[in-house]
């Protein structure tokens, strides 16, 4: 199970700073930070620790298997960010 960031992302990077494997991008150090609509979790690098979900101030980070209805598309959106 991996985690995914959903539409309610506030892009404050709290989740980035607590991720032990640096799988959330763009980070504040990257050029794209601030110009993307949301942050993204790399499902291949995510170790499912849940630190990002615990740190998220707007509850935008959820386990992929718990995404429901319209939220399911965010698993694909997060993964697609890393395909290019």
pLDDT at 31: 92
Rounded Cα gap, residues 30 and 26, in angstroms: 6
pLDDT at 63: 97
Q: Which of 41, 50, 26 is nearest to 76 (CA)?
A: 41
Q: Does domain 3-81 have CATH number 3.40.120.10?
A: no
Instruction: Summarize pLDDT for 18-52 with one digit per residue, the tens.
Output: 999 999 999 999 999 989 899 999 999 999 999 99
Averaged pLDDT for residues 66-72: 95
Rounded Cα gap, residues 80 and 84, in angstroms: 7
Rounded Cα gap, residues 16 and 84, in angstroms: 20
User: What whole-number percentage of the chain has pLDDT above 90?
Assistant: 93
Residue 84 pLDDT > 90, yes or no? no
The pTM assigned to this predicted structure is 0.93
pLDDT at 59: 96
Averaged pLDDT for residues 49-73: 97
CB-based burial label for 82 (10 Å; 0-12, 13-18, 19+): middle
């Amino acid at each position: 199970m991996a985690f995914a960031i959903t539409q309610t992302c506030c892009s404050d990077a709290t989740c980035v700073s607590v991720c032990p494997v640096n799988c959330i991008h763009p980070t504040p150090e990257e050029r794209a930070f601030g110009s993307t609509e949301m942050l993204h979790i790399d499902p291949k690098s995510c170790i499912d620790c849940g630190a990002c979900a615990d740190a998220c101030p707007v509850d935008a980070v959820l386990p992929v298997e718990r995404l429901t209805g319209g939220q399911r598309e965010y698993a694909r959106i997060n993964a697609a960010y890393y395909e290019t």
